[in-house]
Structure 1
Amino acid sequence: MGKGFYISKPLGFVLFGLGAGAVLTIFALSVVYAQEKRKNEVNARDGTRIVTTAAPHRTSAPSNEAWDKYRLPDALLPEYYNVTLWPRLVPDEQGMYIFTGKSGVVFTCVKETNLILIHSNELNFTLTSEMHHAKLTGLGGTSAPAIVKTWFQTQTQFMVIQLKGKLQVGKSYWLYTEFHGELSDNLGGFYRSEYTENGVKKVVATTQMQPTAARNAFPCFDEPSMKAVFRLTLLHPPGTVALSNDNQEVLQTRFEPTEKMSTYLLAFVVSEFTNIRSPPEIRIWGRREAIESCQGDYALNVTFPILKYLENYYNTTYPLSKSDQIALPDFAAGAMENWGLVTYRELSLFYDPKVSSNEDKEWVVTVITHELAHMWFGNLVTMRWWNDLWLNEGFASYVSYLAADYVEPTWNIRAFVVDALVSSHPLSSREHEVITPDQIDQLFDTITYSKGAAILRMLSEFLTESVFANGLHNYLHEYAYSNTVYTDLWKKLQEVTSINEIMNRWILQMGFPVVTIDTRTGSITQQHFLIHPEAVVDNYEWFVPITWMKSGSNMRQHWLLTKTASYEPMKTDTDWLLANLNVTGYYRVNYDPQNWERLLTQLNSDHKVIPVLNRGQIIDDAFNLARAEIINITLALRTTKYLYEEKEYIPWESAIRNLEYFFLMFDRTEVYGPLQVCLLHIMHIYAALHKKIQYTENAYSERIRHLFDHLSISLNHSRLTCGERRNLFLTTSNSKYVLFFILKGPYDAISIFPFSLECYKLLDIAASSFSFGMQAIERAIEQTKANIKWISENKAQVMNWLIEQSD
């Protein structure tokens, strides 16, 4: 009998139960998925659609009524709101936490209409004496038409107010409501967060309005372009403090009017938190215990330098009178850029010097810079609609690295703004393609943040940073306190150079190209890079800025403007050629076989001639090109052979990330053993190499240690006893890397448990919007099929190469 692992009978029963549960879950998903897919196919054939309302599901014809559409009509524009809210921080007799409120909004009529639509979701309204849900008054001597009827359109989240007559163009009106709602723990709208202090439960009333939850706190015109001024009053019990976007006046709970801004940027908090502060009016808020143990000190120390850097970068003064940042015990996002009151998860704002790592500190400064970058780009100037969310988030992501690099120059943070994800949607869509709250939520993904940052980085490189920054300054001054579309930015940048046609191809097309350079002929070609070569897409074409060097000498930038071109200076028989210097362009690079060989020779003889980012790029491009069946898999593996002399993090991270994909793909095959030996050999090389190097204790060196902690745990876990796993958890430099592997039993026996949990989450999603769940299932099935095909086609080559290296 071969060597094996043995488990106790009770544990065996537990594992059997988990396995059975996973099988049942998969079966249930398969059945539901098949049923829903058949339903959708039937609906697609007969042209009907499913309409979700408070009533049971039913099939109906599309409605042309304004209240059945998700976007507001363009007849009314809000000017300002007066909102008073009173959150109850103790439950009522039914055990519910509630809040009550009064809200008035002044709006101007810009088109004649006898209909008022205002967003409202999950609020209960007090009826007026006329038995309506709202009261309408004309201003400036204008008479308001009588209200005929009010009701709520649940699906589109509107309060609908039908009028007897029409509102007059150019006249202003006052709409008043009284309401109450649940102060729930769902982390959206006006909600409650809980924590324990000295054995006593504490309740915080706080907000998360982005993207469409301001309507859960009070009735409002809840779209980004409906900017207005907010006058807020909060009622709260003694011993608590109230915070909002602007400063307080005489009364602690009454706030100065905000700047003109979008509803999703409004924020307010009632809590027993305390703060630390520094001039000019910068405050860090949080639990008393956390603040008193100095966990907010680092955030306070870096905030003012970040704001000054951003003022200089934008050439625009910080637009508010104060900056509050608050750490919440329960918060769905990493952070939220509410204007003047930024909310964070505790791990994204607090740094505890006693237990936190330097990597934690790096995370904190990167999140803070991202959110503060929004104070100008996103808050002062805001996208008109969510289809241009990438401009808000991509820009903040890009600038966050510049500001973080300024505050912590020794960390080399700027080097990590490199992304190579295959995109599944264009950065910007048409407005009518992004309508419902679910569709808006789905835009908050890696593509919006990372690809957006990479595209803007590429733009700043070929314009130069100073020209780019000058265009931003003009943009911010032109559109301050208003809304824009992405082409408005292009217009301001085009005052210095023509970019519209160039950038639109990167914004409106999904994905990115692979550029192939043939040094034998000097030809350059581009094609849409797809990790699955059999995928069918549109015939995309980009304008590609190609920065390049020849045998270590930088050459003049060249533009690839067509699918195929010839460029004589790139023709060479002896020199190696390297393109996309410092990975400033958002594309992959492939070469002819002879140039690949020359690059490998250079890496093995003197790798420092090649920039460090490009050393990581060569490895990452080669492995991904091999996955896409563009180059041979053994060529990709050979790019890692020079690493025995590599001392920098980025090439190591690139190699290990790609090799771990192999480790995952070849698990339970005959390749697994030789691959494990190969990775262990790499670890031994690394360990020997870094014994010779004296690193200071900073986030950069910590990244390297954690990278190899992660790999070591992955490689050695199957051979550890329970006691050894416990010791590993207690002694590894960052225990979070251990948690996933602790959950994995012998032969990955309980690795099905996280999968089962994800299946249940998927079912929960499917209950409210099954089309989203079906898309996720289809993507998973497609990826699995592609992986199976890739393994079958490459297993033999990888096996042979690994055996050759071990000889």
Structure 2
Amino acid sequence: MKNNHISVLKKSILALSISFSLSVAAQANEFQVAKVAKPNFQHVNLTLDPAKENFSGSTTIELEVLKKTKFIELSGRDYTAQLIKLIGDENCDLTAAMLETHKVRLECEHEIKPGSYTLNIDFTAPFNKQSVGLYKTIDKELPYLFTQFEMSDARRAFPVFDEPSYKIPFQLTITAPKDQKVYANTPELKTVVVGDMTTHYFDKTPPIPSYLVALAVGPFVETKVEGMPIEGRIITSKEKQKLAKYAADEMPAILATLEDYFGIPYPYKKLDSVGVPEFPFGAMENAGLVTYREDILLVDNKNSSQNAKQTSVSVVAHELAHQWYGNLVTMKWWNDLWLNEAFASWMAAKVTHKLHPEFGSDLSLPQNNVMAMDARLSTKPIRKPIKTEDDIMDGLGLAYSKGSAVLSMVENWIGEEAFKKGIQAYMKEFAFKNASASDLWNALAKTSGKDVPSVLKSFIEQSSFPLVAVKQDGKTISLSQSRFANKGVDAPAQLWSVPVTIKYGRGDEVKEAKVLLNSDSAKIELDFEPQWIYPDANAMGYYRWVLEDKQLDTLLANAADVLSVRERRAFISASDALLDAGLMSGGNLLKTLGQFIEDAHPRVVSMALGYIQSQKSVFIDESNEDVWAKFITKKAQNALEKYGVTAKKGEEAAISKLRPQLISLLAFEGKDKTIINLAKKESAQYIKDTTKVDPYTAGTYLEIAAYYGDKKQLTSFTKAFETTQDPQARTNLLMALSYFGNEHLQLQTLDYMMTDKITASDMRYIMSGHTYKKTRKARFQNWVYTNYDALSKKLPPFSLPHLPSYTGSGCDAKDLKVTQDFFKAKLDETPAFGRTLSKLEESVNDCIRLKSRELASVNQFLKQL
């Protein structure tokens, strides 16, 4: 383990280089600045030239010293500071000590009395190259500067109290070459030109936390957004401006819908949206200056798939929802980040469905993405203690999906109107302030008259979820709950407050019965004795359920007629979970999934096929590989014969979304030569003109062509990737590059990933397909181990801890052991590997136990086909 040196230089000049490394020995309170002072306002003055590798700046922080002290702490990383001076009743030239927790302790020779002071610091720093902090990127040979400060990377750009509870006004002044456009959170007040440089003076922000401060510098062009109550622009490079229209057209309706829901006007003076060519996330909700990965913001309305349009609308709605939830009202500490992201995800789904019901976003089931992970013993609650950024990133995806699903369950339980009134009251009470989760829970309880805190607390502050067992005796339904756990896992007992909604029917009569299951068991008296029961009406619950065998068989037999599309999709997921819990055999699960592949709705077919693929990854071995391929190929072939290889004019989007999945299965599982040749032909056409290929199938055809391709194919793909101005095409090509099947070409793409042609934020895309097929995964593993030093330096810092998941996931104990041996040796320098390895070990062992338990049942089913 490397420890940072503590350097103290008195009075005049402090040379302070804040290192990347952290000490793992720090205690909880050591990761927060000492509460001896608090900021009230900060001005940041930066001189930025994208053509250079470094920048300089100064900052003035108006602060209040809260008690007698000889030091003040703030956050800092990667910069070198000079001339640190505290001005007040008594002035002090401060010296600085760098701590091991990305903090800087500024010390005075004499005691500082409580009162108001001004802290002045001059500094210099390098532009970051890993897509965090204030970072530089090159797009088509032109340099740009962008910021990504969440979670705690504002401290890389300037000295700051970098914690969400320090919510203050910021004001930026930026000097840049006069041929560059400059943007910040607020409108520009004036500019002053001196020689080749222009100084841009920006308005003061309302109180915001430091992670929402943002700027962008580069040769941009603007597309005005019409129809909003405030000024708004889509900011892009000149070549991509033609793709800004879709977002510009959609944004006013999204903003109006949110203003209506919250009952509060948009809280900032402008709303700029920036298409960023190098971006580590999908988007970032910076107040007044929202940044997006280009392939999300910039959509070709005429030639893009509904998938791309839905993603764009949903992500824009997510980020704009944050302008109220997260920005206007901000968490006190990162332990409530789950609520920021959960609420924005939940709100985005609501807005998207309202504005575009044709997207079918109401059929999405976010809980399906995370419940298997949530069930593991190594998974922590989504509201948990936070010390470091690694703690924040741990399980962040779970926070989005579980949190939004739980909010949907609560809204369904208390009613939409009561939920909306609670949100509006919460927003008005805490506007421009900080709040905690309990503040929202109490607001919802007040407007609904229901015990909302007990429900939310039980789901948010505990990991996992309940398994609700349902038994019928005439008109009486008996419910019992226990913690859901994979079979063979000794999980501790837990109790939830579970809003359960039973859907039941007989003949043409269908009703619902609701109960809050807040004890081990409960009973419900129905209005009549049902023929069938579905224990999660409209699939709104964050729980799994199990019926007695007879009732389950009856429900399955009637599912196509009595369950909605959303409920049928949830039935598939619930059945898969019952296999994990040991409550359904592998053969019976495959039989159930096979039935749903014959469903009338393409979204149900797609989900069933996806789960079959998932089970294949568990149960495949040398003895049954051919049978699996025939089983899956036959199911895909039947569906493709029904819907066709090419799109029909006017077909519903759900069919268009299913088709690439069917084509992929036939090419990769069935090795269908007709499909493979078609993929090569369509890929060649796509390289020439992306508008001439079905946007739904384009990415799939590229992946197939890559897997069965040669050197010429690779050259064609890399050339197209480096020259295209279409962000969608760029992402499609990135992912396709990860699928080359030939050994030499696969290794060549991995080496290409390490060149400056691939940005840090692009790496997860070009790494995505290398684990397909055992031999390719083995080559990829060896390459990662051999090239680890360079790889670890290029990956974004928050991505590095997840690297073991690429090499050790699956159902192979040997792969797990090699991965553990390699990454355990790196724990001193990257302690967060420990979390990933723990989760990986549990996942792999669960898979091995499942395969051992159910392989015979699966093989018996496959042999009968």
* Range class of TM-score, shorter chain: 0.7 to 0.9
Residue 322 of structure 1: CA displacement? 1.0
Say if 2:598 and 2:605, in contact at 8 Å, map to a contact too.
no
Pick the aligned partner of 1:89 from 35, 45, 50: 50
Letter in 2 for 1:630: L
1:93-108 matches, cutoff 5 A: 97-108=53-64
Structure 2 equivalent of residue 150 of structure 1: 95
Structure 2 equivalent of residue 527 of structure 1: 482
Structure 2 equivalent of residue 437 of structure 1: 389
1:189-588 matches, cutoff 5 A: 189-196=133-140, 201-251=141-191, 253-279=200-226, 280-291=230-241, 294-353=242-301, 355-420=303-368, 421-422=370-371, 423=374, 425-430=379-384, 433-443=385-395, 445-496=396-447, 497=449, 498-520=451-473, 522-530=477-485, 532-551=486-505, 553-569=510-526, 575-588=531-544
C-alpha distance in structure 2 between counterparts of 1:204 and 1:58, whole Å: 27
Give the direction of change, closer, same or farther, for the CA distance of 1:319–1:178 in structure 2 (3 Å limit): same
Pick the aligned partner of 1:621 from 567, 574, 579: 574
Deviation string, structure 1 residues 682-715 (Cα, Å, up to 9, x no partner): 2233234436997735653432223323333332
More off after superposition, 548-557 vs 321-330: 548-557
Give the direction of change, closer, same or farther, for the CA distance of 1:508–1:58 in structure 2 (3 Å limit): closer
C-alpha distance in structure 1 between counterparts of 2:675 and 2:664, whole Å: 18
Give the direction of change, closer, same or farther, for the CA distance of 1:58–1:219 in structure 2 (3 Å limit): closer
Residue 343 of structure 1: CA displacement? 0.7
More off after superposition, 81-90 vs 51-60: 51-60
Residue 327 of structure 1: CA displacement? 0.7
Letter in 1 for 2:510: S
Letter in 2 for 1:533: K
Letter in 1 for 2:541: G
Residue 436 of structure 1: CA displacement? 1.9
C-alpha distance in structure 1 between counterparts of 2:20 and 2:178, whole Å: 47
C-alpha distance in structure 1 between counterparts of 2:590 and 2:20, whole Å: 54
Give the match's secondary structure for 2:176.
Answer: coil
Say if 2:497 and 2:516, in contact at 8 Å, map to a contact too.
yes
Say if 1:519 and 1:571, in contact at 8 Å, map to a contact too.
no
Say if 1:359 and 1:702, in contact at 8 Å, map to a contact too.
no
Deviation string, structure 1 residues 442-462 (Cα, Å, up to 9, x no partner): 35x210111111111111111
Letter in 1 for 2:837: I
Letter in 2 for 1:210: E
Say if 2:586 and 2:855, in contact at 8 Å, map to a contact too.
no
Say if 1:401 and 1:417, in contact at 8 Å, map to a contact too.
no
C-alpha distance in structure 2 between counterparts of 1:560 and 1:352, whole Å: 48
C-alpha distance in structure 2 between counterparts of 1:324 and 1:153, whole Å: 36
Letter in 2 for 1:135: K
C-alpha distance in structure 1 between counterparts of 2:641 and 2:674, whole Å: 23
1:27-42 matches, cutoff 5 A: none
Say if 1:618 and 1:639, in contact at 8 Å, map to a contact too.
no
Structure 2 equivalent of residue 75 of structure 1: 36
Structure 1 equivalent of residue 697 of structure 2: 734
Residue 626 of structure 1: CA displacement? 1.1
Residue 90 of structure 1: CA displacement? 2.2
Say if 2:23 and 2:101, in contact at 8 Å, map to a contact too.
no
Give the match's secondary structure for 1:393.
Answer: helix
Deviation string, structure 1 residues 578-637 (Cα, Å, up to 9, x no partner): 11111111011110001011112213xxx1321111111112211221122122233322
More off after superposition, 496-505 vs 306-315: 496-505
Residue 571 of structure 1: CA displacement? 9.4
Deviation string, structure 1 residues 60-107 (Cα, Å, up to 9, x no partner): 99789x9x911112222211111110112223xxxxx11110110001
C-alpha distance in structure 1 between counterparts of 2:357 and 2:676, whole Å: 42
Letter in 2 for 1:737: T
Q: Percent identity?
A: 24
Say if 2:36 and 2:67, in contact at 8 Å, map to a contact too.
yes
Give the direction of change, closer, same or farther, for the CA distance of 1:757–1:453 in structure 2 (3 Å limit): farther
Give the direction of change, closer, same or farther, for the CA distance of 1:59–1:637 in structure 2 (3 Å limit): closer
Say if 1:85 and 1:100, in contact at 8 Å, map to a contact too.
yes
Give the match's secondary structure for 1:749.
Answer: helix
C-alpha distance in structure 1 between counterparts of 2:598 and 2:775, whole Å: 38
Letter in 2 for 1:290: K
More off after superposition, 631-640 vs 395-404: 631-640
Say if 2:640 and 2:659, in contact at 8 Å, map to a contact too.
no
Say if 1:427 and 1:447, in contact at 8 Å, map to a contact too.
no
Residue 767 of structure 1: CA displacement? 6.6
Give the direction of change, closer, same or farther, for the CA distance of 1:655–1:311 in structure 2 (3 Å limit): same
C-alpha distance in structure 2 between counterparts of 1:754 and 1:698, whole Å: 39
Say if 2:39 and 2:64, in contact at 8 Å, map to a contact too.
yes
Residue 756 of structure 1: CA displacement? 3.9
Structure 2 equivalent of residue 174 of structure 1: 118
More off after superposition, 262-271 vs 68-77: 68-77
Say if 2:382 and 2:398, in contact at 8 Å, map to a contact too.
no
C-alpha distance in structure 1 between counterparts of 2:597 and 2:103, whole Å: 63
C-alpha distance in structure 2 between counterparts of 1:61 and 1:348, whole Å: 37
Structure 2 equivalent of residue 136 of structure 1: 86
Give the match's secondary structure for 1:523.
Answer: strand
C-alpha distance in structure 2 between counterparts of 1:98 and 1:281, whole Å: 32
C-alpha distance in structure 1 between counterparts of 2:615 and 2:782, whole Å: 24
Structure 1 equivalent of residue 811 of structure 2: none
Structure 2 equivalent of residue 23 of structure 1: none
Structure 2 equivalent of residue 46 of structure 1: none
TM-score, normalization by structure 2: 0.79
Say if 1:522 and 1:570, in contact at 8 Å, map to a contact too.
no
Say if 2:365 and 2:570, in contact at 8 Å, map to a contact too.
no
TM-score, normalization by structure 1: 0.84
Structure 2 equivalent of residue 716 of structure 1: 670
Say if 2:382 and 2:463, in contact at 8 Å, map to a contact too.
no
Pick the aligned partner of 2:68 from 108, 112, 115: 112
C-alpha distance in structure 2 between counterparts of 1:641 and 1:795, whole Å: 18
Letter in 2 for 1:460: E
Structure 1 equivalent of residue 130 of structure 2: 186
Give the match's secondary structure for 1:565.
Answer: strand
Asked if residue 702 in structure 1 is aligned to residue 656 in structure 2, the reply is yes
Any gaps of 5 or more consecutive residues in structure 2?
7-18, 192-198, 685-692, 708-738, 743-772, 793-799, 801-825
C-alpha distance in structure 1 between counterparts of 2:679 and 2:775, whole Å: 16
Give the match's secondary structure for 2:273.
Answer: strand
Residue 377 of structure 1: CA displacement? 0.1
Deviation string, structure 1 residues 648-705 (Cα, Å, up to 9, x no partner): 2332232111100122223333333333222223223323443699773565343222
Structure 1 equivalent of residue 779 of structure 2: 753
Letter in 2 for 1:437: E
Give the match's secondary structure for 1:458.
Answer: helix
The size of the alignment, in residue pairs, is 723
Say if 2:470 and 2:548, in contact at 8 Å, map to a contact too.
yes
Letter in 2 for 1:503: L
More off after superposition, 658-667 vs 376-385: 658-667
